[in-house]
Amino acid sequence: MGLMYGWWLVFDLPALNTRPPVDSLLSILDRLAIAPTLWEKGVEGVVDPPGLSKWLVAIIASPLKWIGNDEVKEVIWEAASTRLAERCGRTGIYRSLSLFK
């Protein structure tokens, strides 16, 4: 998995048809977390590369058949849903926090 100047390259994300390991998926989803918004002059927002939202939706829509544990599937779906919601703005995530300076 590669980071380029702090950007994820969508082509570096594992295709679901390759049946990526659970640890790999959870690690990537964890690293895609967006920190709370810091409202400060001169600070720009996060811009994701095209295709990232599509990849997150693909995880949410996938039955994850190669993973035998239903509880682990739920953890993966929840993490992918949270990462997608973080990218939908303030109304997309129910427990959003903004910091003002």
Do 1 and 13 form a contact (C-beta atoms < 8 A)?
A: yes
Query: Per the domain annotation, does 83 fall within a domain?
Result: yes
Residue 71 lies in a domain: yes
Is-contact 22 71, C-beta < 8 A?
no
- Range of lowest pLDDT (14-18, 32-36, 88-92): 88-92
Q: First-to-last CA distance in the chain?
A: 34
Structural domain for 69, as ranges: 52-96
Asked, for residue 41, whether it belongs to a domain, the answer is: no
Residue 80 maps to a domain: yes
Q: Write the pLDDT tens digit of every residue in 40-90.
A: 665 566 667 788 999 999 999 999 999 999 999 999 999 999 999 888 866
The count of domains in the chain is 1
Residue 13 lies in a domain: no
Residue type, 24: S
Task: Kindly state whether residue 62 falls inside one of the protein's structural domains.
Answer: yes
